Chain A
């Protein structure tokens, strides 16, 4: 009786992935937003390989930040509107874990596709091979932090009018450290220095977010349902 937290978390992730599979347009919007924003820069800046190589890390990472932002409204918005969120809060399981399961689903549908396509986009900026690999690693390590921190912002602005813009104001400043070390890792690797230090700090941020963000988001969800 009561079920296990593991089974409940699996049910939450499975449901969100199933919904994402049914509503592919939502997932594809974020994905193509990222692809197009990144691709606009070589067109706008012009074909000077040196300039492009220099701006590439920042451009890709800023585009990833904005793409993650774009998808935050969906994380809890629909659940709030259709009543599944109050059922989630009322389950006999720790809400923190269930929120973590939702964040995992969010990362799998929005973060992971960006990670996988990024090296291909990096080619447009004439990034060398080792920098492309670092780009992939930095996004793989850093994008979970974007979903985790974003969840707190999305939960805090739930049910607030004009919540989208407010989420951006809340979350983007918190994304700054991730941006600095994510782009820094790629720059370091492109200029021949080691990226290990940057990547370690990025991993530390993701781990810290993993500990605090689900808990903070769960608290915010309870408050927004009152």
Chain B
């Protein structure tokens, strides 16, 4: 269970949000809404442990995330604004290295199958540099399919630059993750339907 208690975030002199509290339990998703610059990405980075928590606390299974360290990161999948792909490597190479870092071994055949499933079979062996923005995003999202052992998914604008069919496929992956007992914290500007899942939302930037 993920819990945020009265956290606050300031950037320069501007207070983006304060006294923000939420709980996220198994099989639940939390959508963070708000205008550009309202602190959505800052919140997600804070929950992922990339930024320090200025006030309040963030708890994972009743323990502070900073104290958990590697044990927390083992349960976490984070997909930020940047795709985390190397332009000079192919989609398969990128995924193989990204998964090896996360502690998941995956063979080339397995990765090609996963890429083909996302409609990327034809570009699996091209340098990522040659792919379109949406294709790059989809390559990065293939990681979701190998993250069944990570209960908490934090996704920053996962659907940006995606076409409708791809959005549908990713929605299905997220829903099956939730049904397995996972949790998802995400931001998006698109209308998404996580059919059959419990989705709550929190709005930022109303202060």
Q: Which residue from B84, B104, B127 sits with its C-beta under 8 Å from A87?
A: B84
Whether the Cβ atoms of B49 and A90 lie closer than 8 Å is yes
Residue ID in chain B nearest A91 by CB atoms:
B101
> Is the CB of A174 closer than 8 A to any CB of chain B?
no
- Of the candidates A11, A92, A98, the one having the most CB atoms from chain B within 10 angstroms of its own CB is A92
The residue from A2, A10, A19, A78 contacting B103, defined by CB atoms under 8 A apart: A2
Which residues of the partner chain B approach A117 to less than 8 Å between Cβ atoms?
Answer: none
Count of A-B residue pairs with CB < 8 Å? 93
Q: CB < 8 Å: which of A19, A83, A91 contacts B82?
A: A83
**Other-chain residue from A2, A15, A226 in contact with B97 (beta carbon distance below 8 A):** A15
Instruction: Let me know if B48 and A90 touch, CB within 8 A.
Output: yes
Give the interface segment out of B20-28, B68-76, B193-201.
Answer: B68-76
| Known A3-B104, A8-B100, A86-B50: A23·B88 in contact at CB below 8 Å | yes
Q: A82 on the interface (CB 8 Å rule)? A: yes
* Contact pick for A1, options B49, B74, B82, B98, CB 8 Å: B74
Q: Number of contact residues on A: which range applies?
A: 20 to 34
101-136 of chain B: CB within 8 A of chain A: 101-105, 127
Tell me whether A87 and B51 are in contact (CB under 8 A). no
Q: Is the interface of A mostly helix, strand, loop or mixed?
A: helix
Interface residues in B49-94 (C-beta closer than 8 Å to A): 49-52, 70-71, 73-74, 76, 78, 80-89, 93
Q: Determine the residue in chain B with the shortest Cβ distance to A11.
A: B100
> Could you tell me the distance between the alpha carbons of A225 and B70 in the complex, rounded to whole angstroms?
17
Q: Which residues of B contact A15 (CB under 8 A)?
A: 86, 89, 93, 97
Is A84 in contact with B103, judged by CB distance below 8 angstroms? Answer: no
* Distance, CA A86 to CA B50, complexed state (A): 8
Residues of chain B at the chain A interface (Cβ within 8 Å): 48-52, 70-71, 73-74, 76, 78, 80-89, 93, 96-98, 100-105, 127, 149
The 10 A-B pairs of least Cβ separation, nearest first, read A83-B82, A3-B103, A11-B100, A92-B74, A83-B84, A22-B88, A87-B84, A92-B73, A2-B103, A15-B97
Not counting A7-B105, A84-B84, a sample of 20 additional A-B residue pairs whose C-beta atoms are within 8 angstroms of each other reads A8-B100, A8-B101, A14-B97, A15-B89, A18-B89, A18-B93, A19-B88, A19-B89, A82-B85, A83-B81, A83-B83, A84-B98, A86-B50, A87-B78, A87-B101, A90-B50, A91-B73, A91-B102, A98-B101, A226-B52
Which A residues have a C-beta under 8 Å from some C-beta of B? 1-4, 7-8, 10-12, 14-15, 18-19, 22-23, 78, 81-84, 86-94, 98, 225-226
